[in-house]
Protein backbone atom coordinates (compact mmCIF):
# COMPACT_ATOMS: atom_id res chain seq x y z
CA UNK A 1 0.00 0.00 0.00
CA UNK A 2 1.36 3.42 -0.95
CA UNK A 3 2.41 5.84 1.75
CA UNK A 4 -0.09 8.59 0.89
CA UNK A 5 -2.99 6.09 0.91
CA UNK A 6 -1.94 4.86 4.34
CA UNK A 7 -1.74 8.42 5.62
CA UNK A 8 -5.21 9.20 4.20
CA UNK A 9 -6.69 6.21 6.03
CA UNK A 10 -4.87 7.14 9.23
CA UNK A 11 -5.93 10.78 8.96
CA UNK A 12 -9.19 10.35 11.00
CA UNK A 13 -7.02 9.08 13.85
CA UNK A 14 -4.79 12.17 13.82
CA UNK A 15 -6.68 14.10 16.55
CA UNK A 16 -6.56 11.05 18.82
CA UNK A 17 -2.84 10.54 18.16
CA UNK A 18 -2.16 14.24 18.78
CA UNK A 19 -4.13 14.12 22.03
CA UNK A 20 -2.24 11.03 23.21
CA UNK A 21 1.11 12.64 22.34
CA UNK A 22 0.17 15.85 24.14
CA UNK A 23 -0.96 13.92 27.24
CA UNK A 24 2.24 11.85 27.21
CA UNK A 25 4.38 15.00 26.97
CA UNK A 26 2.38 16.69 29.73
CA UNK A 27 2.69 13.62 31.93
CA UNK A 28 6.44 13.43 31.36
CA UNK A 29 6.92 17.09 32.16
CA UNK A 30 4.59 17.30 35.17
CA UNK A 31 6.03 14.14 36.67
CA UNK A 32 9.53 15.43 36.08
CA UNK A 33 9.42 19.04 37.28
CA UNK A 34 11.58 19.59 40.33
CA UNK A 35 12.25 22.41 42.79
CA UNK A 36 15.74 23.89 43.02
CA UNK A 37 18.20 22.73 45.64
CA UNK A 38 19.12 25.38 48.24
CA UNK A 39 22.03 27.48 46.99
CA UNK A 40 21.54 26.62 43.32
CA UNK A 41 21.55 29.66 41.04
CA UNK A 42 18.27 29.62 39.06
CA UNK A 43 19.90 31.28 36.03
CA UNK A 44 22.68 28.68 35.90
CA UNK A 45 20.21 25.81 36.26
CA UNK A 46 17.96 27.32 33.57
CA UNK A 47 20.97 27.65 31.25
CA UNK A 48 21.96 24.02 31.87
CA UNK A 49 18.40 22.83 31.27
CA UNK A 50 18.34 24.75 27.99
CA UNK A 51 21.71 23.30 26.97
CA UNK A 52 20.41 19.77 27.59
CA UNK A 53 17.22 20.43 25.65
CA UNK A 54 19.08 22.17 22.80
CA UNK A 55 21.51 19.29 22.45
CA UNK A 56 18.70 16.75 22.07
CA UNK A 57 16.49 18.94 19.87
CA UNK A 58 19.23 19.88 17.38
CA UNK A 59 20.33 16.25 17.31
CA UNK A 60 16.83 15.04 16.46
CA UNK A 61 16.18 17.64 13.75
CA UNK A 62 19.59 17.23 12.11
CA UNK A 63 19.37 13.43 12.11
CA UNK A 64 15.89 13.51 10.56
CA UNK A 65 17.27 15.73 7.77
CA UNK A 66 20.37 13.55 7.48
CA UNK A 67 18.20 10.44 6.96
CA UNK A 68 17.41 11.69 3.42
CA UNK A 69 18.83 15.12 2.64
CA UNK A 70 17.80 14.90 -1.01
CA UNK A 71 14.16 14.29 -0.07
CA UNK A 72 14.02 17.25 2.33
CA UNK A 73 15.92 19.53 -0.07
CA UNK A 74 13.27 18.83 -2.73
CA UNK A 75 10.08 18.54 -0.67
CA UNK A 76 10.73 20.84 2.29
CA UNK A 77 13.48 23.26 1.22
CA UNK A 78 12.81 25.65 4.11
CA UNK A 79 13.34 22.85 6.62
CA UNK A 80 16.52 21.71 4.90
CA UNK A 81 17.64 25.35 4.76
CA UNK A 82 17.13 25.64 8.52
CA UNK A 83 19.23 22.50 9.06
CA UNK A 84 21.96 23.94 6.85
CA UNK A 85 21.82 27.13 8.95
CA UNK A 86 22.39 24.97 12.03
CA UNK A 87 25.33 23.29 10.27
CA UNK A 88 27.01 26.49 9.06
CA UNK A 89 30.41 26.92 10.74
CA UNK A 90 30.57 30.00 12.97
CA UNK A 91 33.18 31.22 15.42
CA UNK A 92 32.99 30.16 19.04
CA UNK A 93 34.14 31.56 22.35
CA UNK A 94 37.18 29.26 22.62
CA UNK A 95 36.93 26.43 20.08
CA UNK A 96 37.48 28.07 16.69
CA UNK A 97 34.84 27.57 13.98
CA UNK A 98 32.16 24.98 14.71
CA UNK A 99 28.71 24.13 13.30
CA UNK A 100 26.26 26.75 14.61
CA UNK A 101 24.24 24.10 16.53
CA UNK A 102 27.40 23.21 18.48
CA UNK A 103 28.85 26.73 18.61
CA UNK A 104 25.78 28.25 20.26
CA UNK A 105 25.95 25.62 23.00
CA UNK A 106 29.72 25.98 23.50
CA UNK A 107 29.37 29.77 23.74
CA UNK A 108 26.53 29.58 26.24
CA UNK A 109 28.39 27.04 28.38
CA UNK A 110 31.51 29.26 28.30
CA UNK A 111 29.50 32.31 29.34
CA UNK A 112 27.86 30.29 32.11
CA UNK A 113 31.23 29.23 33.50
CA UNK A 114 32.48 32.84 33.36
CA UNK A 115 29.36 33.96 35.20
CA UNK A 116 29.80 31.26 37.84
CA UNK A 117 33.39 32.37 38.42
CA UNK A 118 32.48 36.05 38.69
CA UNK A 119 28.81 36.82 39.35
CA UNK A 120 28.14 40.35 38.15
CA UNK A 121 25.04 42.06 36.78
CA UNK A 122 26.76 42.58 33.43
CA UNK A 123 27.73 38.90 33.34
CA UNK A 124 24.18 37.76 34.13
CA UNK A 125 22.77 40.09 31.44
CA UNK A 126 25.18 38.73 28.85
CA UNK A 127 24.39 35.17 29.88
CA UNK A 128 20.65 35.84 29.74
CA UNK A 129 20.90 37.31 26.24
CA UNK A 130 22.84 34.25 25.03
CA UNK A 131 20.25 32.02 26.71
CA UNK A 132 17.43 33.79 24.83
CA UNK A 133 19.28 33.36 21.53
CA UNK A 134 19.72 29.62 22.04
CA UNK A 135 16.13 29.33 23.27
CA UNK A 136 14.88 30.94 20.05
CA UNK A 137 16.84 28.45 17.95
CA UNK A 138 15.53 25.55 20.03
CA UNK A 139 11.94 26.81 19.67
CA UNK A 140 12.40 27.05 15.91
CA UNK A 141 13.82 23.51 15.80
CA UNK A 142 10.86 22.22 17.81
CA UNK A 143 8.46 23.97 15.43
CA UNK A 144 10.17 22.36 12.46
CA UNK A 145 9.96 18.95 14.11
CA UNK A 146 6.18 19.48 14.45
CA UNK A 147 5.82 20.58 10.83
CA UNK A 148 7.85 17.77 9.29
CA UNK A 149 5.95 15.10 11.23
CA UNK A 150 2.51 16.58 10.45
CA UNK A 151 0.38 14.51 8.02
CA UNK A 152 -1.48 17.57 6.65
CA UNK A 153 0.68 17.77 3.50
CA UNK A 154 -0.60 14.37 2.29
CA UNK B 1 -13.90 2.18 11.41
CA UNK B 2 -13.89 -1.47 12.64
CA UNK B 3 -10.73 -2.52 14.45
CA UNK B 4 -10.14 -5.38 12.02
CA UNK B 5 -9.83 -2.92 9.12
CA UNK B 6 -7.27 -0.90 11.04
CA UNK B 7 -4.87 -3.81 11.61
CA UNK B 8 -3.46 -4.05 8.04
CA UNK B 9 -3.20 -0.25 7.85
CA UNK B 10 -1.26 -0.08 11.10
CA UNK B 11 0.99 -2.95 10.01
CA UNK B 12 1.67 -1.25 6.67
CA UNK B 13 2.43 2.02 8.43
CA UNK B 14 4.83 0.48 10.93
CA UNK B 15 8.00 0.95 8.83
CA UNK B 16 7.13 4.65 8.42
CA UNK B 17 6.41 5.10 12.12
CA UNK B 18 9.59 3.24 13.03
CA UNK B 19 11.76 5.90 11.37
CA UNK B 20 12.59 8.51 13.92
CA UNK B 21 10.88 6.85 16.86
CA UNK B 22 14.20 6.15 18.59
CA UNK B 23 15.22 9.78 18.19
CA UNK B 24 11.84 10.95 19.45
CA UNK B 25 11.93 8.75 22.56
CA UNK B 26 15.50 9.88 23.34
CA UNK B 27 14.35 13.49 22.94
CA UNK B 28 11.42 12.95 25.34
CA UNK B 29 13.71 11.32 27.90
CA UNK B 30 16.11 14.26 27.65
CA UNK B 31 13.29 16.77 28.17
CA UNK B 32 12.23 14.83 31.23
CA UNK B 33 15.74 14.70 32.69
CA UNK B 34 16.20 18.44 32.02
CA UNK B 35 12.94 19.22 33.81
CA UNK B 36 14.06 17.13 36.79
CA UNK B 37 17.36 18.97 37.19
CA UNK B 38 17.36 20.58 40.64
CA UNK B 39 20.96 21.71 41.08
CA UNK B 40 23.90 23.08 39.14
CA UNK B 41 26.13 20.67 37.21
CA UNK B 42 29.32 19.50 38.84
CA UNK B 43 32.61 20.10 37.00
CA UNK B 44 32.55 16.45 35.89
CA UNK B 45 29.04 16.80 34.46
CA UNK B 46 30.04 19.98 32.62
CA UNK B 47 33.16 18.26 31.21
CA UNK B 48 31.07 15.26 30.11
CA UNK B 49 28.58 17.55 28.39
CA UNK B 50 31.37 19.40 26.54
CA UNK B 51 33.05 16.14 25.52
CA UNK B 52 29.74 14.83 24.11
CA UNK B 53 29.24 18.09 22.27
CA UNK B 54 32.72 18.07 20.72
CA UNK B 55 32.22 14.43 19.70
CA UNK B 56 29.44 15.60 17.38
CA UNK B 57 32.02 17.22 15.11
CA UNK B 58 32.61 13.79 13.55
CA UNK B 59 28.88 13.21 13.06
CA UNK B 60 27.92 13.50 9.35
CA UNK B 61 24.54 14.97 10.36
CA UNK B 62 26.42 18.09 11.51
CA UNK B 63 28.35 18.56 8.25
CA UNK B 64 26.93 21.05 5.71
CA UNK B 65 26.03 20.03 2.17
CA UNK B 66 29.12 19.84 -0.03
CA UNK B 67 29.62 22.84 -2.28
The backbone torsions φ and ψ at residue A91, rounded to the nearest 5 degrees and listed phi first, read: -75, 150
Cα-based torsion angle of the residue sequence B18, B30, A135, A88 in order, rounded to the nearest 10 degrees: -60
Question: Looking at chain B, which residue has its C-alpha nearest residue A62?
Answer: B61
Domain boundaries, chain A: 1-29, 41-153
Question: Under an 8 Å CB criterion, which residues of B touch A?
Answer: 1, 8-9, 12-13, 16, 19-20, 23-24, 26-28, 30-41, 46, 49-50, 52-54, 56-57, 60-65
What is the pTM for the complete model shown?
Answer: 0.75
User: What mean pLDDT is predicted for residues B27-45?
Assistant: 89
pLDDT at A31 (0 to 100): 54
ipTM of the complex: 0.73
In chain B, which ranges are E strands?
Answer: none
Q: Which of A1-10, A87-96, B19-28, B45-54 has the lowest mean pLDDT?
A: A1-10
What per-residue string of b and e applies to A11-23 under the rule 16 or more CB within 10 Å gives b? eeeeeeeeeeeee
**Are A49 and A107 contacting, i.e. CB atoms less than 8 angstroms apart?**
no
In A1-154, which ranges are E strands?
Answer: 89-91, 97-99
Length of chain A: 154
User: What mean pLDDT is predicted for residues B15-21?
Assistant: 60
Asked if B27's CB is within 8 angstroms of A56's CB, the reply is yes
Does the pLDDT value for residue B23 go beyond 50? yes
User: What mean pLDDT is predicted for residues B52-60?
Assistant: 90
**Are A116 and A145 contacting, i.e. CB atoms less than 8 angstroms apart?**
no
Four-residue CA torsion sign, B23, B10, A72, A152: negative
pLDDT at B24 (0 to 100): 78
**Cross-strand partners of A90:** A98
pLDDT at A154 (0 to 100): 46
Q: Nearest CB to B39: which of A45, A60, A89?
A: A45
CA distance B11 to chain A (A): 10
pLDDT at B36 (0 to 100): 87
Q: How far is it, in rounded angstroms, from Cα B61 to Cα B67?
A: 16
Closest by alpha carbon to A52, among B46, B3, B6? B46
| CA A12 vs CA A19, A21, A146, A151, B2: distances in Å | 13, 15, 18, 11, 13
Domain boundaries, chain B: 3-58
Rounded to 10 deg, the angle between the B21-36 and A42-67 helix axes is 180
Asked if A53's CB is within 8 angstroms of B34's CB, the reply is yes
Question: Looking at chain B, which residue has its C-alpha nearest residue A68?
Answer: B61
10-residue mean pLDDT profile of chain A (154 residues): values are: 55 59 61 75 94 93 89 90 95 86 94 94 94 93 78 52
Better pLDDT: A136 or B20: A136
**Are B27 and A56 contacting, i.e. CB atoms less than 8 angstroms apart?**
yes
Q: How far is it, in rounded angstroms, from Cα A154 to Cα A5?
A: 9
Amino acid sequence: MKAHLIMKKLYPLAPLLLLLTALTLLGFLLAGCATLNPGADPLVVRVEQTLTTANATFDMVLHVDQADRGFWRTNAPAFHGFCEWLRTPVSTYADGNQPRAVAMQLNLDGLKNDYKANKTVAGSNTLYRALLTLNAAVSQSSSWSNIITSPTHF
Amino acid sequence: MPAAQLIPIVIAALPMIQTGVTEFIAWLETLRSAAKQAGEWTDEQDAAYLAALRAKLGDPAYQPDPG
